[in-house]
């Protein structure tokens, strides 16, 4: 790079991802096992160095594709962590992103090739490398806040779903029980849901109407 700038000192930049999915009644975070020092063999967030030929967002999408094998999912910049001691070897700042992926998109993805990958409950994380525990905590906080005032939860749902599944999603993320009637009233009042006309016939009980989102955009509510 051009080093004409005065005051320039070398700092490395990485991009780390907090990839959320909901499965097994829990909010799960994607972790990868580090192969190299520092923190070899320790679980960590998927990430990588920013290349000089790609934007931050491009880097985040690249990591997401490499590690999770997915594209076209919800990604948002979270925060930039730059404490001096966060990497014991060198000065590295990391731009953290978070991503939301419906579980169904993951089981069909080619990420099975990656062996040193796990999904850990966001509330029961193993020891993580660097300051990644702090990054996850921040991401959970952001996700909960946004679930409260936007329809961001959409990004975790499959294409069609029962209202009870949508309610369960909210309950898992917010870690709270919701009233069925009030929930349905509120959701339908947004005008963002559409009946598909199809019913799901799973189980020994009354079939449920399947819904989908009219648009996939994330919007502020109220």
The CB density around residue 181, as the number of other CB atoms within 10 Å, is 8
Least CB distance to DNA at residue 82 (A): 37
Least CB distance to its own copies at residue 2 (A): 4
* 85 part of the interface to DNA, by CB under 7 A: no
* 24 part of the interface to DNA, by CB under 7 A: no
Contacts to its own copies by CB under 8 A: 1-13, 36, 48-57, 77, 79-84, 89-93, 95
* 89 part of the interface to DNA, by CB under 7 A: no
Query: Contact at 8 Å (CB) between 71 and 83?
Result: no
Q: Say which entry of DNA, its own copies, none residue 115 contacts (CB below 5 to 8 A, set by partner kind).
A: none
Least CB distance to its own copies at residue 66 (A): 12
Nearest C-alpha neighbor of 47 from the set 140, 127, 128, 147? 128
Rounded Cα distance, 187 and 193, in Å = 7
Q: Say which entry of DNA, its own copies, none residue 158 contacts (CB below 5 to 8 A, set by partner kind).
A: none
Least CB distance to DNA at residue 101 (A): 23
> Using CB under 7 A, which residues numbered 153 to 212 contact DNA?
162-164, 179-182, 184-186, 199, 201, 203-209
Residues that bind DNA (rule: CB under 7 A) add up to a total of 20
Question: What Rg value do the Cα atoms of the chain yield, rounded?
Answer: 20
* 148 part of the interface to DNA, by CB under 7 A: no
C-alpha distance across the termini of the chain, in Å: 47
Q: Say which entry of its own copies, DNA, none residue 53 contacts (CB below 5 to 8 A, set by partner kind).
A: its own copies
Q: Say which entry of DNA, its own copies, none residue 180 contacts (CB below 5 to 8 A, set by partner kind).
A: DNA
Nearest C-alpha neighbor of 212 from the set 175, 177, 179, 163? 163
Q: For residue 27, report the phi and psi dihedrals to the nearest 5 degrees.
A: -85, 115
DSSP E strand boundaries for the chain: 12-23, 26-33, 43-44, 47-49, 74-81, 92-100, 117-121, 193-200, 208-213
Residue located via tokens 């806040």: 145
Which of 35, 202 has the CB closer to its own copies? 35
Binding site for DNA (CB under 7 A): 162-164, 179-182, 184-186, 199, 201, 203-209, 222
């Amino acid at each position: 790079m051009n080093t004409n700038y005065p005051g320039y000192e070398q700092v490395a930049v990485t991009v780390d991802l907090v990839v959320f999915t909901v499965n097994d009644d829990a909010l799960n975070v994607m972790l990868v096992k580090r192969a190299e020092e520092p923190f070899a063999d320790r679980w960590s967030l998927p990430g990588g160095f920013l290349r000089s030929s790609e934007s931050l967002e491009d880097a985040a999408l690249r990591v997401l594709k490499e590690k999770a094998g997915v594209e076209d999912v919800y990604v948002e910049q979270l925060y930039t962590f730059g404490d001096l001691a966060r990497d014991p070897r060198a000065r590295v700042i990391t731009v953290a992103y978070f991503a939301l992926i419906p579980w169904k998109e993951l089981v069909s993805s080619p990420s099975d090739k990656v062996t040193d990958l796990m999904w850990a409950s966001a509330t029961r994380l193993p020891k993580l490398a660097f300051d990644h525990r702090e990054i996850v905590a921040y991401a959970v906080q952001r996700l909960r806040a946004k679930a409260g005032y936007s329809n961001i939860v959409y990004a975790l749902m499959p294409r069609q779903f029962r209202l009870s599944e949508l309610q369960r999603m909210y309950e898992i993320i917010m870690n709270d029980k919701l009233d069925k009637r009030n929930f349905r009233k509120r959701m339908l009042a947004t005008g963002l849901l559409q009946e598909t006309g199809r019913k799901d016939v799973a189980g020994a009980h009354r079939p449920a109407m399947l819904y989908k989102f009219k648009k996939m955009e994330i919007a502020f509510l109220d």
